[in-house]
C-alpha cells in the first residue's frame, strides 16, 4: 500500500482518498507507529501528512530518519515536508511570516518530476507558520512562495519529495497532478487500484476469511449494505443469505428494487420477511419520534433474529452453521474509531446494532477499506443497479419518521404517493446529484382549508426538505429552481387528493435537522 502517515492533521484521510483517486491503494497509519512497523507493511510509497504543530513545539511528532533511508519513495506535505527538511539536514525556521489560505507559488522548474507540464505560477493552499529557509543538501528546490523560500524540493535519486502546501485540497489548483506525479513518476507506481482489481482483491479476502462457513446480511436497500452483500455473494455464492425486512416504511418502488432488480443483478439468495402488519401494529398511536425509532429498531431485531434462526434451521447443516454477519462499514468510520485497516478485517461482535447476546456472529466488513466513492465504483463493477448505487441517504426508520404524528397505513400511502412525485420531478430536472437528500414530510395532524374545483377542502400539508450537504453534519437548503418546485407542488396537490398544500423548508442545519423528526 501507499502509507499515509497521519501527523495529526485533519487532512490525512483526504490525502488517502486522493491517493485512491490516483488509482493506488492507500492506508492511513498514525505517526506513533514505529518506522519498523511501517516498513513491515511493505509500503510502495509513503506520504507524510500535514499536522497542527510546529516542528519545534514541545512534543511535536518526530520523523524517524530510518523511513527516509529505506529506499521507499517519500512525499512530505506541509508539516511532513518540514519534518523531512529537518531530518535531511536543512533548516526550518520560525520566520514570523505566516501563510494561510490561497497563495501563489512560483514553480522554478516546470520539467521536474512533480511539476512536469504545469504552469510556472499556480494557486496553492497554505497553512503554516514555520518555513524551510535552507534546503537539505543535494536536493533541488523547485518552488517558492512569498513566505517560503523553499516551498518544494525534489531528490530523484533518493526518491524524496515534498511541498510546503496542501496538494490534497481542491484549492490547490494542480494539487492532484502534483500528487499523481509523485506516485506515478517519482515513485514509479502503476495505477492498479481499479474497480476490477478492488472487487477481485476484496472478494478473495472475504473468501479466505469465511471459508466454507455460512454468512448472513441484513439488506436495507441502501448503498453500503447492498454493495457489501453483492461483494460477499461474489466471494462465497449461496453460502450467503440476505435478509430483507420489509417494514412497510420504504418509499414507492424500493422494496421491489431490492426484491427483484438487486437479486436479478447479483444473484444473492434473499429471504424477504413481510413485517408490514407487525410494524403497523407496533407503531399504532405512537407519535413521539424517539419512541418510534425505538419501536422500529426493536422490531427489526426481533424479525431479523427469527429469520436468522429459520435460516439456521432450514439451510445450515451441522457442519456449517451461520457464523458470519456481513456489515457495510466504511473506511472513514474505521479511521475515526482508530481501528486497523486490513481490507476485509474481522472482529468478534456480540452486540451488533443491538442484536441480542445469544446471537454471536463474527463480523465481516468487506468495505472497511473503502471510501464512499469507491463503494459506488465497486457496486457498479458488481452490477448493482444504478438506482441503488447512487441512492441518496435514507434513514433506517424510513417514512416512519417522515410522518409528523402517528403512523398508519393510510398516512403512509399519502406520503408515499407525494414522495414519489417529488422524486420523479427532481430526477427529471437532473438534480439528483446536486441534492444530498430530500425528505418529503407529511404533517399528518395539521389540516388547512383549501379550495379545489368548486369545493372547500380540508387537507394536509406536505413539506419539501431538499438539502445540500457533504456529510449530513451540516446542511443548507437547496435552491431548487422555482419551476421545478411549481411542478412538484402542482402535481402533488392534483394527484394526491388528501394534500392541499405543499410548503418548502428553507432552514439550514443547524438550527434545523435534515429530518423533521
Ligand atoms: P438529521 O435529521 O439528524 O439527519 O439532520 C442526518 C442524517 O441522518 C439520517 N437519519 C437517520 N438515519 N436512522 C438512520 O439510519 C435514523 O434514525 C436517522 N435519523 C436521521 C438523515 O436522513 C440524514 O441523512
Q: Which pLDDT tens digit goes with each residue over 406-437? A: 999 999 999 999 999 999 999 999 999 899 99
> What's the CATH number where 326 sits?
3.40.50.620
> Domain boundary at 161, 186, 211, which?
186
231-240, 306-315, 503-512: the lowest-pLDDT one: 306-315
CA of 19 to the centre of ligand 1 (A): 30
**What is the 3 state secondary structure string of 441-471?**
EEECCCCEEEEECCEEEEEEEEEECCEECCC
237-247 tens-digit pLDDT: 999 999 999 99
- Do 178 and 215 belong to one domain? no
Q: How confident is the model at residue 465 (pLDDT cuts 50, 70, 90)?
A: very high
Of 27, 31, 128, 166, the catalytic one is 166
Could you tell me the CA-to-CA distances from 353 to 30, 193, 247, 350, 359 in Å, in that order? Answer: 28, 32, 17, 10, 12
State the Cα–Cα distance between residues 260 and 267, nearest whole angstrom: 10
Which residue's alpha carbon is at the smallest distance from atom 21 of ligand 1?
Answer: 395
Which residue's alpha carbon is at the smallest distance from atom 4 of ligand 1?
Answer: 514
Which residue's alpha carbon is at the smallest distance from atom 9 of ligand 1?
Answer: 395
- Do 203 and 322 belong to one domain? yes
Look at residue 313 in the predicted model and tell me its pLDDT.
82
Is the residue at 485 inside a domain?
yes
- Do 242 and 307 belong to one domain? yes
Q: Supply the ipTM of this predicted assembly.
A: 0.99
CA-only gyration radius of the chain, Å: 27
* Ligand 1 mutation target, pool 247, 372, 395, most atoms within 8 A of CB: 395
Number of domains in the chain: 3
Is the residue at 401 inside a domain?
no
- Do 273 and 347 belong to one domain? yes
Is the residue at 399 inside a domain?
no
- Do 59 and 133 belong to one domain? yes
Helix (H) or strand (E) holding 244: strand 240-246
Is the residue at 468 inside a domain?
yes
- Do 292 and 417 belong to one domain? no
Look at residue 343 in the predicted model and tell me its pLDDT.
40
Look at residue 400 in the predicted model and tell me its pLDDT.
97
Is the residue at 81 inside a domain?
yes
> What's the CATH number where 28 sits?
3.40.50.880
Res 352 pLDDT > 60:
no
- Do 216 and 291 belong to one domain? yes
Top pLDDT among 429 and 130 is at 429
State the Cα–Cα distance between residues 244 and 275, nearest whole angstrom: 10
- Do 252 and 182 belong to one domain? no
Give the domain range for residue 444: 408-504
Q: Residues lining ligand 1, CB < 6 A?
A: 293, 393, 395-397, 437, 472, 509, 513-515
Res 336 pLDDT > 60:
yes
- Do 364 and 447 belong to one domain? no
State the Cα–Cα distance between residues 196 and 481, nearest whole angstrom: 39
> What's the CATH number where 454 sits?
3.30.300.10
- Do 422 and 297 belong to one domain? no
As annotated, the binding site includes 220-226
Mean pLDDT of the chain: 92
Q: Is the pTM of this model over 0.90?
A: no
Look at residue 52 in the predicted model and tell me its pLDDT.
72
**166 among known catalytic residues:** yes
Is the residue at 517 inside a domain?
no
CA of 515 to the centre of ligand 1 (A): 6
Look at residue 315 in the predicted model and tell me its pLDDT.
75
Is the residue at 269 inside a domain?
yes
**290 among known catalytic residues:** no
Ligand 1 atom nearest to 436, measured from its CA = 24
State the Cα–Cα distance between residues 357 and 70, nearest whole angstrom: 48
**171 among known catalytic residues:** no
The rounded percent of the chain whose pLDDT value lies above 70 is: 94
> Domain boundary at 141, 160, 186, which?
186
Between 482-495 and 409-428, two packed helices, what is the crossing angle to 10 degrees?
Answer: 150
- Do 108 and 235 belong to one domain? no
- Do 357 and 426 belong to one domain? no
Look at residue 11 in the predicted model and tell me its pLDDT.
81
Res 309 pLDDT > 60:
yes
Is the residue at 402 inside a domain?
no
28-77 tens-digit pLDDT: 999 999 999 999 999 999 999 998 777 777 778 889 999 999 999 999 99
Amino acid at each position: 500500500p501507499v502509507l499515509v502517515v497521519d501527523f495529526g492533521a485533519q487532512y490525512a484521510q483526504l490525502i488517502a482518498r486522493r491517493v485512491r483517486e490516483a488509482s493506488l491503494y492507500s492506508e492511513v497509519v498514525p505517526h506513533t507507529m514505529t518506522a519498523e512497523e511501517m516498513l513491515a507493511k511493505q509500503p510502495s510509497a509513503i506520504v507524510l501528512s500535514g499536522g497542527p504543530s510546529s516542528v519545534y513545539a514541545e512534543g511535536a511528532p518526530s520523523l524517524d530518519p530510518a523511513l527516509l533511508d529505506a529506499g521507499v519513495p517519500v512525499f512530505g506535505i506541509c508539516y511532513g515536508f518540514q519534518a523531512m527538511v529537518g531530518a535531511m539536514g536543512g533548516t526550518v525556521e520560525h520566520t514570523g511570516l505566516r501563510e494561510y489560505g490561497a497563495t501563489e507559488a512560483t514553480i522554478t522548474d516546470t520539467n521536474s518530476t512533480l511539476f512536469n507540464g504545469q504552469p510556472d505560477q499556480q494557486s496553492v493552499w497554505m497553512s503554516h507558520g514555520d518555513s524551510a529557509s535552507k534546503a537539505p543538501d543535494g536536493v533541488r528546490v523547485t518552488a517558492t512562495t512569498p513566505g517560503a523560500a523553499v516551498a518544494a524540493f525534489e531528490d530523484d535519486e533518493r526518491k524524496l519529495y515534498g511541498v510546503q502546501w496542501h496538494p490534497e485540497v481542491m484549492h490547490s489548483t494542480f494539487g492532484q497532478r502534483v500528487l499523481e506525479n509523485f506516485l506515478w513518476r517519482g515513485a514509479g507506481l502503476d495505477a492498479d487500484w481499479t474497480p476490477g482489481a478492488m472487487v477481485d482483491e476484496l472478494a478473495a479476502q472475504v473468501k479466505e476469511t469465511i471459508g466454507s462457513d455460512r454468512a448472513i446480511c441484513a439488506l436495507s436497500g441502501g448503498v453500503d449494505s447492498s454493495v457489501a452483500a453483492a461483494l460477499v455473494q461474489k466471494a462465497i455464492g449461496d453460502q450467503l443469505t440476505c435478509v430483507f425486512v420489509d417494514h412497510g416504511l420504504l418509499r414507492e418502488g424500493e422494496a421491489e428494487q431490492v426484491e427483484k432488480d438487486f437479486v436479478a443483478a447479483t444473484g444473492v439468495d434473499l429471504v424477504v420477511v413481510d413485517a408490514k402488519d407487525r410494524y403497523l401494529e407496533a407503531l399504532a398511536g405512537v407519535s413521539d419520534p424517539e419512541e418510534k425509532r425505538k419501536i422500529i429498531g426493536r422490531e427489526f431485531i426481533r424479525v431479523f433474529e427469527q429469520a436468522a434462526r429459520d435460516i439456521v434451521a432450514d439451510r445450515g447443516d451441522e457442519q456449517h452453521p451461520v457464523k458470519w454477519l456481513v456489515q457495510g462499514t466504511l473506511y472513514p468510520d474505521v479511521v475515526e474509531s482508530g481501528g486497523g485497516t486490513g481490507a476485509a478485517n474481522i472482529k468478534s461482535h456480540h452486540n451488533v446494532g443491538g442484536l441480542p447476546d445469544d446471537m454471536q456472529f463474527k463480523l465481516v466488513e468487506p468495505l472497511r477499506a473503502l471510501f464512499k466513492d469507491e463503494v459506488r465504483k465497486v457496486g457498479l463493477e458488481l452490477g448493482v443497479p444504478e438506482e441503488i448505487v447512487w441512492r441518496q441517504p435514507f434513514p433506517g426508520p424510513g417514512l416512519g419518521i417522515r410522518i409528523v404524528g402517528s403512523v398508519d397505513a393510510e398516512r403512509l400511502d399519502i406520503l408515499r404517493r407525494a414522495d414519489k412525485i417529488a422524486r420523479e420531478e427532481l430526477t427529471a430536472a437532473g438534480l439528483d446529484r446536486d441534492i444530498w437528500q430530500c425528505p418529503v414530510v407529511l404533517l399528518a395532524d395539521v389540516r388547512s382549508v383549501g379550495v379545489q374545483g368548486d369545493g372547500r377542502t380540508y387537507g394536509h400539508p406536505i413539506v419539501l426538505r431538499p438539502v445540500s450537504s457533504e456529510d449530513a453534519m451540516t446542511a443548507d437548503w437547496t435552491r431548487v429552481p422555482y419551476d421545478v418546485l411549481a411542478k412538484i407542488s402542482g402535481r402533488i396537490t392534483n394527484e394526491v387528493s388528501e394534500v392541499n398544500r405543499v410548503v418548502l423548508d428553507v432552514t439550514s442545519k443547524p438550527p434545523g435537522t435534515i429530518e423533521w423528526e
